[in-house]
């Protein structure tokens, strides 16, 4: 084989190897991108689960606080109503006398 033929053969082999390396690099790059997407997807799902758990926890906590506030408010209203009823029953005679006095004009 002549020297020129050998150089051409080497160039063709080098070109073939270069094409193979480029193809391999593209495959590796595609695989890395796929792995990165999968990892990101898993991280997003994990984050979403954590945030949903926090939301459920807050809803539960707030529901308990709202129930306690409602209970406290109802107790307060009951106390006030009882106090007003007690006051009214202890002053009913005075109120009746005042009404009679106003009606009769005395």
CA dihedral (77, 83, 84, 86) positive or negative: positive
What confidence tens digit (pLDDT) does each residue in 34-56 have? 999 999 999 999 999 999 999 99
What is the DSSP secondary structure assignment for residue 106, as one 8-state letter?
-
What confidence tens digit (pLDDT) does each residue in 42-93 have? 999 999 999 999 999 999 889 989 999 999 999 999 999 999 889 888 888 8
Domain ranges of the chain: 3-104
């Amino acid at each position: 084989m002549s020297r020129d033929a050998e150089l051409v053969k080497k160039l063709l082999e080098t070109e073939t190897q270069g094409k193979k390396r480029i193809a391999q690099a593209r495959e590796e790059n595609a695989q890395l991108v796929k792995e990165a997407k999968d990892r990101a997807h898993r991280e997003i799902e994990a984050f979403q689960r954590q945030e949903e758990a926090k939301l459920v926890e807050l809803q539960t906590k707030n529901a308990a606080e709202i129930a306690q506030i409602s209970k406290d408010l109802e107790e307060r209203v009951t106390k006030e109503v009882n106090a007003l009823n007690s006051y009214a029953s202890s002053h009913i005679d005075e109120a009746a006398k005042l009404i009679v006095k106003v009606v009769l004009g005395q």
